[in-house]
Amino acid sequence: MAIEIEMPKLTDTMEDGVLSAWLVDEGDEVSAGDVIAQVETDKATMDVEAFDDGVLLKKVIDEGDSVPIGQLIAVLGEEGEDISDVVAGADEAADGPESAPSDDETAPQEASESTDPTGDGQIRDREPEPVPAGTDEEGRRIKASPLARRLAQEHSIDLATMDGSGPEGRIVRRDVEARIEEGEAVPAEPESAPAPRPASEPAFEMPTSVVDEAGDLYDSENISQMRKTISRRLAQSKYTAPHFYLTVDVDMANAVEARKKINALTEKQDGPKISFNDFITKSCALALRQHPYVNASYLAEDGEIRKYNQVHVGIAVAIDEGLITPVIRNADRKGLAQISKETRELAGRARNRELQPEEFEGSTFTTSNLGMFGIEEFTAIINPPNAAILAIGEIRDEPVVEDGEVVPGKRMKITLSCDHRVVDGAVGAQFLQDVKRYLEDPMNMLL
């Protein structure tokens, strides 16, 4: 019996996936648990395993194809088994349901007359109407899927001359592709589109004179799965969650000295070096334990605010395709050395697109650090379903006043973006004050 393999849901935010590589060929025997393909999701490139034994009879999609969750990608079965019905069903699903014919397509063409508008009393015949697209010369509608119609139009194929292999003789994609392979159709030259009418007051003008050495006005690239998800989720967050922002300036002088001493000790013990980001992760985790509404989510569909009993801090990591947030789980219960080790391991795998879903899903709070790029202050968009995100600026050398005297100081601005549906202004401010307290006196983290 044929076994259908469908595009799996590999991450919590995945809606479709790109099959980046097939790892087996048609005719190969596979066993349950074997990795048969790799799929690019919105977060990482992940393996697709077979759940049954059998022979890979058909690869339904090609490498590089993007398909939604649940669509057929391959068929397993016994060698020589007939799977034409299964593949035909996949073609029908990919083509989409046939749209119902409109009144213009189903109504017979009737000869009619019109009165001359000049009023001279003469009756003139109306000009013959063109045959509607998708009908034969006698006006009968041709049954064909939308994809088949588009392919036929691109290759100047007359659908009226074809017989369909779909239900009730419907012409589907494979029928048109077969005609193209037979060489009976020559691709039509695309008709030139009419020149657009210029706007009376154009809002802007595209560059027409400045080009690069190759003579190109611009470079283009396909939108990756990760970029699609970033665009969708952050747009949803920005326009759904009412953001407000709170900023404090932190005295980092004690943290700088503490880091020097800790790293001197870890160097002797061949341990991991501690970064300022590790200090921030730990201080946020401890403060989240004290402020449950910041460590929470607003779930409108469930009609509840969910305050989490565990503290899982997501750390935004920049990669070529965009951003991903590896998660330090139970960060409030871990020491700086453990946080440092996990952060570096997860960031390295993130940049190589090797993270597993359990390593980047389920954060209860997120931090984003652009201080390393010289950014003094910025605001971040909340990573849903979190209720807040902390934006971290660089540590600045600047003069400060202490005991009436101007002395050298080290300062860092941090900005908390809050979802006002969950976090009120006073709650966010108190959370920031606790984070600041931990950073300005790191010994508090040990209490």
What is the per-residue pLDDT for 56? 85
Flag residues of the chain having pLDDT under 70.
1, 42-43, 89-141, 145-147, 166-168, 183-216
**Is residue 62 within 8 Å of 370, Cβ to Cβ?**
no
Q: Is 243 a catalytic residue?
A: no
Residue 426 C-beta-side C-alpha neighbours within 13 Å: 0
What is the per-residue pLDDT for 195? 56
Report all structural domains of the chain as residue ranges with CATH numbers, in order of start: 3-95 (2.40.50.100), 226-446 (3.30.559.10)
What is the per-residue pLDDT for 345? 95
Catalytic residue chosen out of the listed positions 155, 243, 291, 420:
420
What is the per-residue pLDDT for 200? 52
Provide CB contacts within 8 A for 282, sequence distance 6+: 331, 332, 334, 336, 339, 438, 445
Strand intervals (E) in 23-121 = 29-30, 35-40, 45-49, 54-59, 66-68, 72-77, 113-115
What is the per-residue pLDDT for 148? 73
pTM for the full predicted model? 0.60
What is the per-residue pLDDT for 123? 43
DSSP state of 117: T
DSSP state of 201: S
H or E segment at 258? helix 253-268
CA atoms of 58 and 45, how far apart (whole Å): 22
DSSP state of 141: B
